[in-house]
């Protein structure tokens, strides 16, 4: 089996993808700075390097020593709110460093990359569900930092033959089905982990950011995609690159959305616990509805969400949070 280098493989989506790669008998090398990732999230079968994607000497050594054939590139900052406050950090970490990383890889002869992109590249879409051909006008530096790398791929392909697939994730959620790994962000901002932390009594209430949106119950609707399904999309993308499928960007979502209230109600059902709710004002930059059109990935990569019904998402997330109330320690 080929060796795959996974940057950011100790992060949330990265670690679930590493687990899936190992289950398929790929040889996996993880490179992670551990600034936001967790060493404990990386399975023992993966070779681990603590380091930064900007370290060209280290990357050269890894590629040579392990005969890396393809890369899945997750390493990035991913907080929309933080990106609004520190856009320079996002353009440096996500855009400049990724560009350097890819350039180093190409010089080492590695020309296949699966890139961790985001629905935030679309900004405020004109049509719902959102298709890959929709205009991409990000409304925050996080989305812009990722979009710039997608754009660079087009030119790198022409100049150096880079083969690439950018996966535009919608709302990643859930945890591994065996309960071994899950979501642990140092400053948590995402809805599902915050709801479950409230169920655990670690927070007094879950705030609902906005109750007057143009949706049936007035709260925002998002397309939640199970992290295990997301991991599977990376494997299929790698295989597609091996088979020389055309490069491009793909949505990874389910095509179905749930409101904030529906998420909280399901969490009450799954946990059987009281979850105090506080109606709060809108959070800046939240569109009413974000739902993916998923025909492209289903047809071209043969991918289909298998675990992304809301109950499975919340049950697996709950199993993880219940057993790891303090995350990876």
217 in Cβ contact with 5 (< 8 Å): no
Min dist CB 84 to ligand UFG, Å, is 12
- Which among 12, 90, 122, 142 is annotated as catalytic? 142
Q: Where are the alpha helices (DSSP H) in 9-73?
A: 12-23, 56-66
Q: Which of residues 172-211 bind ligand UFG (CB under 6 A)?
A: 189-191, 194, 206-209
Backbone angles phi, psi at 256, to 5 degrees: -125, 140
Does residue 101 interact with ligand UFG by CB under 6 A? Answer: no
Backbone angles phi, psi at 32, to 5 degrees: -150, 140
Alpha-carbon span 14 to 37, nearest angstrom: 9
- Rule CB under 6 A: choose which of 80, 156, 235, 238 binds ligand UFG: 80
Strands 27-32 and 3-7: parallel
Q: Which residues contact 59 (CB under 8 A, 6 or more apart)?
A: 31, 53, 101, 104, 105, 108
Q: What is the per-residue binding string for ligand UFG in 260-279, x denoting contact by CB under 6 A?
A: x-------------------
Q: Which stretch binds ligand UFG (CB under 6 A): 88-96, 113-121, 127-135, 175-183?
A: 113-121
Min dist CB 262 to ligand UFG, Å, is 11
Per-residue HEC secondary structure of 39-51 comes to HHHCCCCCEEEEC
Alpha-carbon span 48 to 270, nearest angstrom: 35
Min dist CB 145 to ligand UFG, Å, is 11
Q: Where are the alpha helices (DSSP H) in 260-327?
A: 260-271, 295-301, 310-323
142 catalytic residue (yes or no):
yes
- Rule CB under 6 A: choose which of 62, 76, 290, 310 binds ligand UFG: 290
- Rule CB under 6 A: choose which of 118, 145, 271, 308 binds ligand UFG: 118
Instruction: Tell me how many residues contact ligand UFG (CB under 6 A).
Output: 21
**Residues at the interface with ligand UFG (CB under 6 A):** 78, 80, 118-120, 170-171, 189-191, 194, 206-209, 220, 222, 260, 283, 286, 290
> Which residues are part of the catalytic machinery?
142
């Amino acid at each position: 089996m080929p060796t795959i280098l996974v940057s950011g493989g100790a992060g949330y989506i990265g670690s679930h993808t590493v687990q899936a790669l190992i289950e398929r008998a790929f040889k996996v090398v993880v490179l992670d700075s551990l600034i936001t990732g967790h060493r404990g999230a990386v399975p023992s079968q993966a070779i681990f390097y603590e380091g930064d994607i900007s370290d060209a000497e280290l990357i050269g050594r890894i590629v040579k020593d392990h005969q890396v054939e393809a890369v899945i590139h997750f390493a990035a900052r991913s907080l929309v709110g933080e990106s609004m406050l520190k856009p320079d950090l996002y353009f440096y970490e996500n855009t400049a460093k990724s560009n350097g990383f890819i350039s180093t890889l190409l010089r080492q002869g590695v020309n296949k990359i699966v890139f961790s992109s985001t629905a935030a590249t679309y900004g405020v879409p004109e049509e719902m569900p959102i298709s890959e051909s929709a205009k991409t006008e990000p409304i925050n530096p996080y989305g812009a930092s990722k979009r710039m790398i997608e754009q660079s791929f087009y030119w790198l392909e022409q100049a150096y033959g880079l083969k690439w697939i950018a996966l535009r994730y919608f709302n990643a959620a859930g945890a591994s089905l065996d309960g071994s790994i899950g979501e642990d962000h140092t400053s948590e901002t995402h809805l599902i982990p915050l709801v479950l932390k409230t169920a655990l009594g670690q927070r007094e209430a879950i705030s609902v950011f906005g109750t007057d949106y143009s949706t049936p119950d007035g709260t925002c609707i998002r397309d939640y995609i199970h992290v295990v399904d997301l991991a599977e999309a990376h494997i299929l993308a790698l295989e597609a690159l091996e088979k020389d499928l055309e490069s491009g960007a793909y949505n990874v979502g389910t095509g179905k959305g749930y409101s904030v209230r529906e998420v909280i109600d399901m969490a009450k059902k799954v946990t059987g616990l009281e979850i105090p709710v506080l109606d709060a004002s809108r959070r800046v930059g939240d569109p009413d509805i974000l739902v993916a059109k998923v025909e492209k990935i289903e047809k071209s990569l043969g991918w289909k969400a298998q675990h992304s019904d809301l109950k499975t998402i919340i049950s697996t997330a709950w199993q993880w949070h219940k057993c790891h109330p303090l995350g990876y320690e």
